[in-house]
With several copies, the nearest count.
Chain A
């Protein structure tokens, strides 16, 4: 354990955080809608110095055999070494796969997209929705930045026009059939304390991480714990706080 980690842990025991925030405070969150012209929908989210772009692209493909009437959602995250000295070139590693899958599950389990409306010809042709997550600067809590940006990109996406077999990308009008806005909120357990929206420094000092994605009605649609062992008390605190924080963030979309 290095000196900074130790300092963060000492502070937390007096309920203080290294950047002066309260335990339940997010860093400053900003959201820019549709910054990418060529995407069907996009968003740039900044949480403190963490910056993530999410773009939604659509195409046409074959449905999965077991869901012949449903469109297909594909979430992908690229942890480009552009965004952090700790990211490496190469095929997606555990960390980027986990990030993509957390966002994917939040969308999928909350039934955010009305996938049946994305069916073109049953069993043959359906819309595919690609959600591509690109961190530009990683200063902690990529999950919440990615989840918020994904929700916004989907909410503001317009579908290209389909003429026969051809996609006309110049004429985008119809919005994506969206029913829900799942918002993930992430907490770090540092020593035995729980803080929301961990910064990169806090992520290095934490001994447990939990993400709770909630729906507009406050229901939980996905959870992912990472890192070390957590107490039941902290898990319950995270569950409770995630609903409130999710509501706040959802207002930005």
Chain B
């Protein structure tokens, strides 16, 4: 099929990608990821001591993820502070990153991941996961694999990746995944929509393909930072 999308992309094309590592000096690791008009930044602090002490886990680190949207990131202002939506996204984000980490290496500590959506135009949770994964790597925390994330759907009979703008209304489903390409395991999978099992499988397969593209971009961004550090 050769349907053109509202922004001229083919169905398997991801929006223009920009990734930059090390954008927040104070953080132990940080990154900015933009996909078209969606921009996420992530900061990692830790592993650091966890207070109060009764929250410490004796044999592993606690991973904490907080996803939030800047009030000016959307068409209508978002109220600051946690919402039910942001709480759920924080939870699934944590669960999508945790399998990549060796938390058992840092008993009694906390690793804190803060994600801020600066601009939102669909795909904020996936952009946030991409940024957070880079930030963890930038923090020098050993990982099984980078976690990479994108959403897919099916529009007018065609599996379509990285939905944006009005495509979220036209698609049969909105299906974000997070994926560790080297290990071939899925760490995030959600779906809203209405489609047969067969199509769900097809959509997941396309999303995995998209993740592999983003994976290469993530590695480039890390190399660029490391190269720069090497020069310094």
| Residue ranges of A at the interface with B (Cβ–Cβ < 8 Å) | 36-40, 42, 49, 51, 53, 55-57, 59, 76, 78, 80-85, 89, 91-95, 97-98, 100-101, 105, 108-111, 130, 132, 134, 136-139, 167, 169, 210, 215, 218-232, 235-236, 239-240, 243
Docked-complex contact B200 and A239, CB < 8 angstroms? yes
Question: Tally of A-B residue pairs with Cβ under 8 A?
Answer: 180
B181 at the interface (CB under 8 A from A): no
Docked-complex contact B91 and A98, CB < 8 angstroms? yes
Docked-complex contact B191 and A223, CB < 8 angstroms? yes
Complex Cα gap A100–B99 (Å): 25
Docked-complex contact A36 and B72, CB < 8 angstroms? yes
Asked, given contacts A36-B72, A222-B191, A240-B197, whether A230 binds B118 with beta carbons under 8 Å apart, the answer is no
Report 24 cross-chain contacts, Cβ distance below 8 Å, ordered by A residue.
A36-B70, A38-B72, A49-B25, A55-B70, A57-B71, A57-B76, A80-B114, A81-B43, A82-B115, A89-B66, A97-B87, A97-B91, A108-B192, A137-B24, A210-B189, A219-B196, A220-B191, A220-B194, A223-B191, A225-B190, A229-B180, A232-B204, A235-B189, A239-B197
Whole-angstrom distance from the CB of B61 to the nearest CB of chain A? 16
Complex Cα gap A52–B220 (Å): 27
Asked, given contacts A82-B114, A83-B26, A229-B180, whether A130 binds B71 with beta carbons under 8 Å apart, the answer is yes
B33 at the interface (CB under 8 A from A): no
B interface, over-half SS: mixed
**What does the 1/0 interface line of B96-113 toward A look like (CB < 8 Å)?**
001100000000000010
Given contacts A57-B72, A229-B186, 17 further A-B contacts (CB under 8 A): A76-B71, A76-B80, A89-B66, A92-B84, A100-B84, A132-B70, A132-B72, A137-B25, A137-B26, A218-B197, A220-B173, A223-B190, A223-B191, A225-B189, A229-B99, A229-B187, A232-B186
Contact partners of B227 in chain A: CB under 8 A: none
